[in-house]
Amino acid sequence: MSYKNILVAIDLSKESRQIISKAKETAEVYGAKLHLISAIEPLLQVHGDALSIYGAYRAIDKDAKKEAKERLLAITEDLGIPSKNCFAPIGNPANEIRERAFKLKSDLIIMGTHGRKGIKKLILGSTANSVLNGTKVDVQVIRII
């Protein structure tokens, strides 16, 4: 199979470089275009409605999105990826990744996983697992060391 349009999902942690490096190698092999996404979990979704009285979560989410976009732009500049190929949506990460892959007509999603097992996986959930089981697009999962 030949890939032409790859969506790379990262969380902007220091381990993201591992994922980007592998994605860049894959893109070079296939001559594919790279897009980067870092979805921001909404504060309301993470902490419930505690801050809604003050509307604080909206401002914090907006700031988080701005910071994520700036960090993504710095990465894309280093890699020579056009800024228009960089996305930092606010929402459930798995949903945002799947939706962006669909909109871009991506034929491969590359993302990382910490490889949690057992009860930790059940409690913490798994974005990679959710993306893998919720899309028809090929998914390459990079084990983060």
pLDDT, mean of residues 104-132:
75
Check whether 57 has a pLDDT greater than 80: no
Residue for token pair 């902007």 = 12
What gap in Å lies between CA 100 and CA 46, rounded to an integer? 22
Tallying the residues shown for the chain, one arrives at: 145
Predicted confidence (pLDDT) per residue in 69-93, tens digit: 888 888 888 788 888 999 999 889 9
**Structural domain that includes position 63:** 5-143
Report the candidate in 137, 141, 145 with the shortest Cα–Cα distance to residue 129.
Answer: 141
Give the per-residue pLDDT at 123.
43
pLDDT, greater one: 127 or 100: 100
82 phi and psi angles, rounded to 5 deg: -60, 140
What gap in Å lies between CA 109 and CA 106, rounded to an integer? 7
Residue 126 exposure: Cα atoms within 13 Å on the Cβ side: 21
pLDDT, mean of residues 96-108:
96
Report the candidate in 76, 71, 72, 64 with the shortest Cα–Cα distance to residue 33.
Answer: 76
Give the per-residue pLDDT at 126.
78
Give the per-residue pLDDT at 78.
79
Residue for token pair 């606010």 = 90
Give the per-residue pLDDT at 124.
41
State both tokens at 74: 């710095």
CATH number at residue 24: 3.40.50.620
Give the per-residue pLDDT at 23.
94
pLDDT band for 55, please (50, 70, 90 cuts): low
Single-letter amino acid code for the residue at 107: D
Neighbours of 112 (CB within 10 A): 25
Domain count along the chain? 1
- Please give the share of the chain, as a percent, with pLDDT higher than 90: 39
141 phi and psi angles, rounded to 5 deg: -105, 125
Q: What is the pTM of this model?
A: 0.82
